[in-house]
Amino acid sequence: MRKYLLCSVACMSFAGVAYADDSLTMHGVTLYGTVDMGLVYQTHGAPLSDYLPTGLEYNAYGSKNYRNGQFTVGPSGLSQSKIGLKGSEELIAGWTGIFKIETGFNPTSGDLVDGPHSVLINNGVAASKQISAGDSSRAGQAFNGPAFAGVSNDKFGTMTFGRQNALMLDSAIKYDPMGGSYAFSLLGYTGAVGGAGDTEDGRLDNSLVYTNRFGPVRVSGGYKFSGGSGADGSAWQAGLGSDFRGFSIDANFAHVKDAVSIAALSSAQLNPAAPVTTATATQLPTGQLPGTLASTISDNTAYSVMASYTMGAPKFFAGYENITYANPTAPVVPGTPTIGGYMLGVVNNTAYTNHKVWQIAWTGVKYSFTPEFDVTGAYYYIGQNSYKVGGSCSNSSASTCSGEYNGASIMADYKLSKRFDVYGGAMWSQIVGGIGSGALHNNTIDPMVGVRFNF
């Protein structure tokens, strides 16, 4: 994968030319990027990953492999380290061509970020020995962020096609008090909120998106064509929003077919007691399993309402999202490729015979003491119903039991210059009931200090 870093080298050569006039824009094309890293202490954690977009499991959500405390370097605490190009060019009177390409990288290793690869490393490894890992829409692609082109007109709106952020993801970042931070925010860390239930759908390949504004009202819509990565099905999304006297609000709806959530193969899945075939079971024959992943497939439906209000120095945020997971109407067969070219070796198409429902809520406030210095506090919550077949439960005996996630964070950010800032803060998070099922530890406190350079 390191060969893909050649694209970053090419972008940097462009920057050398553009710096001649202290500008990162030349002929309508802008080079931009972020380098973000710091030091972290975790009361419970897992070792640093070279590939996981967050680098560390900053949050208790989804972290079944927590061990004892650790002090370590941590990448991308406030925002994803990345590099990209974006541009615009007038085509004819009133119409502008636009494009954007971006890739995220891990500044502690130099690798392109690749969530599925971080999971693959843990195949067959006991939870107590696993490194940090997690699924992601950033899967080692040359451009693992957005990569799209389109046209824009002040009256008729903007139409773009390619790999693009889901509307839900853009709204979640906009209305997150912590701005989608990996180290201090549930919304930034998990990706499930922006992906309408699964993080791989936070960025949609082969998608068409339309946006426009009519006075104070914003409208948006999008459709993802199926077939790009093999496992992913189609998806459609819609959004409606408005801005008025410091108040901003957005409502979104999304439906995703054949959403994929991956996990590491257990030792038993790597070495089943008896060989199986793709014709009669949901697992590949033993000899085909190395290099593949386990997966759960679902059809997801999500809706959300998010808002913010600016009142001088303080800015208030709040949001709510409801996600329903159902069994897929078009089951996925073992051996199907998924995002980043990875293969699904073990497939579960029947996890949600009883629908799983998540209710996610958050609130927070950012207070700007000066234009350079602000302090932000936030609280995040997930409530999960019991969707166990044969009877409900509310303990941690199974992931299908009802459960809760709670997280709270505080962070201070100081801008030393236009492009350079320093930050520090801490997040506490806890998982209980079904959400915490199988976790070695169900909570962590993660104080972090870091530096970020934006260009």
For residue 338 the two structure tokens come to 């998924």
**413/87 Cα distance (integer angstroms):** 29
Cα 257 from chain centroid (whole Å): 18
d(CA 346, CA 333): 9
Q: What are phi and psi of 127, to 5 degrees?
A: -55, -35
DSSP class of residue 419 equals S
pTM of the model: 0.92
- How is 6-47 classified by DSSP, letter by letter? HHHHHHHHHHHHHGGGT-SEETTEEEEEEEEEEEEEESS---
For residue 197 the two structure tokens come to 């239930």
Domain count of the chain?
A: 1
Tokens of 422: 């320093």
Residues 89, 43: Cα–Cα separation, whole Å: 50
pLDDT of the chain, 455 residues: tens digit per residue: 444 444 444 444 444 444 434 558 888 899 999 999 999 999 999 999 999 999 999 999 989 999 999 999 999 999 999 999 999 999 999 999 999 999 999 999 999 999 999 999 999 999 999 999 999 999 999 999 999 999 999 999 999 999 999 999 999 999 999 999 999 999 999 999 999 999 999 999 999 999 999 999 999 999 999 876 667 789 999 999 999 999 999 999 999 999 999 999 998 888 776 655 544 447 887 777 777 999 999 999 999 999 999 999 999 999 999 999 999 999 999 989 999 989 999 999 999 999 999 999 999 999 999 999 999 999 999 999 999 999 999 999 999 999 999 999 999 999 999 999 999 999 999 999 999 999 999 999 999 999 999 99
Own/partner long-range contacts of 18-24 (Cβ < 8 Å, ≥24 apart): 24/455
d(CA 234, CA 223): 7
Q: With CA atoms as reference, report the closest residue to 131 among 141, 144, 122, 139.
A: 122
291 forms beta bridges with: none
Residue-level pLDDT at 263: 95
What CA–CA distance (Å, rounded) separates 345 from 332? Answer: 11
Q: What is the CATH number of the domain that holds 146?
A: 2.40.160.10
Contact 390, 350 (CB under 8 A): no
User: Range of 68's domain?
Assistant: 2-454
269 torsion bin: left (phi>0), alpha (psi -120 to 50), beta (else):
alpha
